[in-house]
């Protein structure tokens, strides 16, 4: 098979989208100055909006390791909230005498290309080349894919997740399990990359099922146990990364859905329409929005962004559900969990970029574009580019 057949469309989509996002990032960085929070010395001024916010935490871990003063974990911001893969990439760069920001941002963009290549070939095998081309461009131009051009986890997590799904679909369960295991180290929802691998291994037939399932799940279990074990023996608590999320306004899974989520939505509505904040008490009936969610008055625009993308994700998930047959489909269950797990903590914060990992949603979006005429595709493209520009500009004052 010639290289263009499996790489050409993804490479073109990757080049076009990443050049567009990078040019916007340089313009915004030089126009708006540094981001509101964080700018490490390794980050050049021209790309400071792509190297602020959580990137500063990753660089701190790479240089100094995880914090040992964990007495107020969950009450104040601490770097134990972050999983280790991006800091490991940065630490390797430092050990080689390289700029850790540049290495991390190259890795993020490179793995986004891996995501597009894997998605194209997976979609081509399932639905044909026309659908594959359309889905690849959908993912490449998705506004939340701005985060894949940052020194963040999204590029790596997405690339690993799609590659694991593609390898499992091809029947390479050993390799798929290993790739999914690496995804575990990107962020808490990285472990979900194992879901389609395990389901596809189970559905592949009765003969050899036990061996396939072992290959699919064992590497992820070992990697997660190693990371949590490190936290237990070096930091004093295996659950510290999960406890630390509370400082960012994320509650316990399930419980937070009844508390922090109404507060976040009320904050967004209050900021959008002016006046007093709407929904100032949670469904459990105690605390105000400011006390509960930690959002300042200026944060409502980020919540509006994430709520709007949440609505889009739900629409696409419903279409995927109908077309794939519900939660029995590995692709539906994976996309469902990618959205539900963060929401069940009660926070919509960063749902736009977290939902980017639900890559099967590119299929119903591509189908919807195919059902419409050229006008629908043109207006969708214009909307995607405009929203992408707004999301880049928003980095000056809001985290992605």
Q: What mean pLDDT is predicted for residues 243-255? A: 64
pLDDT of residue 285: 40
pLDDT of residue 297: 42
Q: How confident is the model at residue 250 (pLDDT cuts 50, 70, 90)?
A: low
- pLDDT tops 70 at residue 259: no
DSSP string, 239-274: THHHHGGGGGT--STTGGGGTHHHHHHHHHHHHHH-
Give the Å distances, CA to CA, from 385 to 141, 146, 226, 388: 7, 11, 41, 5
Is the pTM here over 0.85, yes or no?
yes
- Tokens representing residue 132 in the block: 């594959």
pLDDT of residue 399: 83
pLDDT of residue 67: 82
pLDDT digits (tens, 9 = 90+) for 140-150: 999 999 999 99
Distance CA 230, CA 232 (A): 5
Task: Note the residue count of the chain.
Answer: 400
- pLDDT tops 70 at residue 282: no
What letter does residue 193 receive in the DSSP assignment? G
- Across the chain, mean pLDDT equals 86
Distance CA 222, CA 148 (A): 27
pLDDT digits (tens, 9 = 90+) for 38-74: 678 888 989 999 998 889 999 999 999 998 777 667 6
DSSP string, 25-62: HHHHHHHH-S-SS---TTS-GGGGGGSSTHHHHHHHHH
Distance CA 120, CA 10 (A): 7
- pLDDT tops 60 at residue 7: yes
pLDDT digits (tens, 9 = 90+) for 147-197: 999 999 999 999 999 999 999 999 999 999 999 999 999 998 899 999 999
Give the Å distances, CA to CA, from 350 to 103, 188, 238, 302, 385: 24, 14, 25, 8, 19
């Amino acid at each position: 098979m010639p290289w263009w057949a499996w790489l050409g469309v993804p490479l073109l989509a990757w080049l076009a989208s990443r050049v567009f996002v990078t040019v916007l990032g340089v313009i915004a960085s030089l126009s708006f100055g540094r981001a509101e929070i964080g700018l490490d010395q390794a980050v050049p001024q021209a790309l400071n909006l792509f190297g602020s916010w959580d990137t500063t935490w990753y660089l701190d871990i790479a240089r100094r390791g995880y914090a040992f003063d964990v007495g107020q974990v969950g009450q104040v911001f601490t770097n134990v909230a972050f999983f280790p893969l991006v800091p490991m990439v940065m630490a390797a760069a430092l050990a080689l005498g390289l700029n850790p920001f540049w290495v991390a941002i190259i890795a993020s963009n490179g793995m986004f290309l891996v995501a597009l290549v894997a998605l194209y070939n997976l979609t081509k095998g399932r639905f044909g080349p026309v659908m594959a081309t359309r889905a690849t461009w959908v993912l490449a131009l998705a506004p939340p894919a701005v985060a894949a051009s940052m020194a963040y986890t999204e590029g790596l997590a997405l690339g690993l997740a799609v590659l694991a799904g593609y390898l499992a679909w091809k029947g390479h369960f050993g390799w798929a399990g290993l790739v999914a295991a690496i995804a575990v180290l990107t962020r808490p929802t990285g472990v979900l990359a194992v879901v389609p691998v395990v389901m596809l291994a189970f559905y592949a037939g009765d003969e050899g099922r036990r061996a396939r399932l072992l290959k699919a799940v064992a590497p992820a279990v070992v990697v997660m146990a190693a990371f949590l074990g490190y936290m237990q023996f070096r930091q004093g608590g295996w659950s510290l990364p999960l406890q630390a999320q509370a400082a960012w306004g994320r509650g316990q899974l399930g419980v937070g859905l009844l508390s922090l989520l109404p507060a976040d939505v009320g904050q967004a509505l209050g900021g959008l329409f002016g006046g007093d904040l709407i929904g100032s008490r949670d469904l459990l009936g105690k605390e105000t929005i400011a006390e509960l969610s930690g959002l300042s008055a200026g944060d409502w625009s980020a919540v509006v962004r994430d709520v709007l993308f949440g609505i889009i994700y739900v629409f696409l998930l419903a279409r995927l559900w109908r077309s794939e047959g519900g939660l029995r489909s590995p692709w539906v269950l994976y996309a469902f969990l990618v959205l539900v797990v963060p929401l069940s903590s009660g926070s919509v914060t960063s749902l736009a970029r977290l939902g980017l990992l639900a890559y099967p949603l590119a299929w119903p979006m591509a189908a919807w574009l195919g059902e419409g005429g050229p006008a629908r595709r043109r207006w969708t493209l214009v909307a995607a580019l405009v929203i992408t520009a707004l999301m880049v500009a928003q980095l000056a004052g809001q985290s992605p």
